[in-house]
Amino acid sequence: MLGLFKRATTGLKRLAAVSALAALAAGAAGAARAEDTIKVGILHSLSGTMAISETTLKDAMLMLIEEQNKKGGVLGKKLEAVVVDPASNWPLFAEKARELITKDKVAAVFGCWTSVSRKSVLPVFKELNNILFYPVQYEGEESERNVFYTGAAPNQQAIPAVDYLANEEKVERWVLAGTDYVYPRTTNKILEAYLKSRGVKAEDIMINYTPFGHSDWQTIVADIKKFGSQGKKTAVVSTINGDANVPFYKELANQGVKATDIPVVAFSVGEEELAGIDTKPLLGHLAAWNYFMSIDTPENKDFIAKWHAFTKDPKRVTNDPMEASYIGFNMWVKAVEKAGTTDPDKVIATLPGIKQANLTGGIAEMLPNHHITKPVFIGEIEGDGQFDVVWKTKELIPGEAWSRYLEGSKSLVADWVKYNCGNYDTVKNVCLGAAAK
């Protein structure tokens, strides 16, 4: 019996040893598999007030990653998407960003829509030295080493839109209507200064802010009508964001505000936002973007076809921030392949000068200020929710990080190649530090 017990004990020990070795081997294989992929973070709201805009960007990134993997991935490795939902909760953006970088070990993050969400994550990307590609138009007045801005700066959207309205529509009175957060307030501060530099009087500028998700527009639209009834051509410049746009446009229609009387030019309303409403009463109202789905180029047709195949929905629309995501993603791929690594420092140093064909027929270039070159289009809303391009810039416009119309900004430049600085004062010849303002 004792011999039998010893043999049984020995067998159990051997079994335990084999199991332990198997566990170690499985762990090693798992680690090897993890190292065989390059993880990419997707940080967009899939719920809450901004889901109407951001969910599409998540889907677009998944498509781009799938397409890149069909080409063999990057550096011989497949890309692996890590999707999180910050739920339109600005502090949660920072938590999710930290989780993506420290827990999921992503090589880069593509995400954020609102400026308040971007501002929330900036300290995380600086502290942990990772890379954020930000694909949405914004207010400028910023250039961070760890951020690449592929959406429009004010000189690539807001300023050209005002020029169009003033020169082509002969607008003399201005309603600056926005959601109450960083992007609208700073953009309108720039626009107010710009309009005054053009000779517009203070009494011909009306500024209004509403909270996220605002739904009761009756009084505000009535005020806009009254402001526009003073004998001068009036226009609304809209920086209203998210799902508040739906009741805003509905109330414009309810109160008979037509584009021929008071045109609205929007900076945050594209094909996706119009997909859920009846656009027929909004015919002639405008949007300023750097891309429209209706633009007829081979590149855009190919992109739309791939999008419809990926989503299995032939009615699914494309929009400007999708193109900005497309440009940023492909620039990152090229920089990683050129650098031969996903190491953030080397990729950041490689990105300036990287070029990528956009979807409208031009070539985007990443500039030393971490912004890109872009065309500008003004589009008229059509009955099918698409835009008819009525005006465009002759050339691609380089994005400016700092506004030449604001005191305290006009002497600043961002240059991460020459000065290694996001806000270099050209008068004092000193770097103020990227976060100094």
> How much of the chain exceeds pLDDT 70, in percent?
91
The mean pLDDT value for 385-412 works out to 96
What are residue 397's DSSP bridge partners? 374
Q: In angstroms, how far is CA 341 from the centroid of its own chain?
A: 25
| pLDDT tens digits, one per residue of 70-111 | 999 999 999 999 999 999 999 999 999 999 999 999 999 999
The mean pLDDT value for 223-232 works out to 96
Confidence band (pLDDT; 50, 70, 90) for 435? very low
- The string of DSSP letters for 189-220 reads HHHHHHHHHTT--GGGEEEEEE-TT----HHH
The mean pLDDT value for 296-312 works out to 98
Per-residue pLDDT at 437 exceeds 50: no
Per-residue pLDDT at 45 exceeds 60: yes
C-alpha radius of gyration, the chain, whole number:
25
Per-residue pLDDT at 165 exceeds 90: yes
Lateral strand order in the sheet of 377-381: 205-210, 173-179, 234-239, 264-266, 286-289, 377-381, 387-392
Look at residue 278 in the predicted model and tell me its pLDDT: 79
**pLDDT: is 34 or 432 the higher one?**
432
CATH-assigned architecture of domain 38-152+296-375:
3-Layer(aba) Sandwich (3.40)
Q: Which of 367, 324, 328, 344 is nearest to 108 (CA)?
A: 344
Longest dimension (CA), the chain: 110
Q: What angle do CA 306, 381, 303 make, to 5 degrees?
A: 10
The mean pLDDT value for 15-44 works out to 60
pTM for the whole thing?
Answer: 0.88
Which one of 3.30.1330.120, 3.30.70.1150, 3.40.50.2300, 3.30.70.2860 gives the CATH number of domain 156-289?
Answer: 3.40.50.2300
Between CA 175 and CA 168 the distance in angstroms is: 17
Instruction: Name the average pLDDT for the chain.
Output: 91
Q: In this structure, what is the dihedral angle of CA atoms 117, 209, 270, 225, given to the nearest 10 degrees?
A: 180
The mean pLDDT value for 165-170 works out to 96
Between CA 14 and CA 264 the distance in angstroms is: 78
Look at residue 224 in the predicted model and tell me its pLDDT: 97
Asked if the domains at 38-152+296-375 and 156-289 fall in one CATH topology, the answer is yes
Report strand pairing: 37-43 vs 78-84: parallel
Per-residue pLDDT at 24 exceeds 60: no
Q: Where are the domains of the chain?
A: 38-152+296-375, 156-289
Amino acid in the structure at residue 322: M
